[in-house]
Amino acid sequence: MSFVEYLTAIGEELLLEHLITLTKAEALPEIIHDKLLQILKMYLFLGGMPEVVQDYINTSDIASARNIQNDILEAYQRDFSKYTERNQAIKTSEIWNSIPRQLARENKKFKYREVRKDARAVTYEQTTEWLRKAGLIHMVYILSNPKLPLKGYADNLKFKIYMHDTGLLAAMLNLTSDLIIDPTRIFSEYNGAFIENYVAQELISYGHKDLFYWTSRSDAEVDFILQFQNHIYPVEVKSGTSRNIKSLRSYEKKYYPEVLLRISPRNFVQSGNFINLPLYACFLTKVFLEDYQVS
C-alpha cells in the first residue's frame, strides 16, 4: 500500500480528501500537519504490506505486526531458493541482506564489495536484476548529466538500492516501536534511510517509474531527478526541518531548473521557484509540478 492507500485503510478519508483538494502549497493548520506526520510515522514502521496493516487495524498490536513482517521476510528467503539455482539463491540472499546496512551509511551508493569482500559487479548483476523484476527493490541510477532523456545519461554501474517496503526495512534492522513516539527520530534514523526509501516508493507508486540522482564533484547531492512532461526537476529529501537547501542551490547554479522541490517534515511552503512538500504529500508531486507549468 502507498501512504494514500494506507490512509484509506485506517479510515482517514477526510484527511485524504483535504489533501487531494489542495492546488497551492499553502501551509496546513499545524494540528492537521502534526496529525499527518504522526500517522506517517506509524506507516513508516508498519509499511504497506496488506497483511501487516490489516493485522494492526484488527489488533492495534505492534508486536503482532512485527511477527508478520518477520514471517514475510522468512518467506522471501524460502522463495529465493525456490525460484533460483542454489548458487544464485545464495547470491540473492547476500544482496538482499546487505541492503539495510548499505542504506544506513551516509553515502548510500550500493557497493558490491560490501556484499562480499571480493565481489565484482559482473558476479551480481543478474541477482540485482532478478530482485528488481520481482518487485522487491528499487534501483536509482546516478546521472552523468541531467539532460533529456535521463536514461541516456544514467550510469548503470552506479546506483542506490531501496527496498519496496519501509516496514520490512524496519524489521530487518530490528528497530523498536519507541521510534513512533519520538517526534523526529524515525525520520532521521540510519542517516535518513527510511525517508529516502519511503520517497522512492511513493514516487514510483505515482508514476515516476525511472528514478535517478545527481552528485557534484564536491559535496552536493540531489536525491532524485525527475523527468516529467519533457522537463527535469531536482528533488531533495530532508529528514529534518532544516531550511538548508545547499544541494538544490548548487544544482540550480549549474542547470537552471524551473522548480526546486524539497520533500521534508516541514509544512507546505512555496517561495518563487522553490516548493516544499510535506513527507505525507509525496503523491502530490506531479500535481504541483503540472500546476507550476500551467501557471
How many angstroms separate the Cα of 202 from the Cα of each of 138, 195, 239, 248? 11, 10, 15, 21
- Any residues with CB less than 8 A from the CB of 20 and at least 6 apart, and which? none
Sign of the four-CA dihedral 30, 33, 36, 40: negative
| Segment 263-288 mean pLDDT | 94
The pLDDT value recorded for residue 209 is 86
The pLDDT value recorded for residue 103 is 94
Q: For the chain, report the end-to-end CA distance as a whole number of angstroms.
A: 32
Give the tens place of pLDDT for each residue, 66-114: 999 999 999 999 999 887 788 889 999 999 999 999 999 989 999 999 9
Give the tens place of pLDDT for each residue, 214-240: 998 777 899 999 998 889 999 999 988
Using the predicted structure, report yes or no on whether residue 295 has a pLDDT greater than 60.
Answer: no
**Do 127 and 92 touch, CB atoms closer than 8 A?**
yes
How many angstroms separate the Cα of 211 from the Cα of each of 122, 150, 235, 255, 262? 22, 9, 11, 18, 16
Domain boundaries, position 49: 3-294
Give the chain's domain count: 1
Global pTM?
0.94
Rounded to whole angstroms, how far apart are CA atoms 169 and 265?
Answer: 20
Half-sphere exposure of 238 (CA within 13 A, CB side): 19
Using the predicted structure, report yes or no on whether residue 284 has a pLDDT greater than 70.
Answer: yes
Cell numbers 517496503 label which residue?
165
The pLDDT value recorded for residue 83 is 75
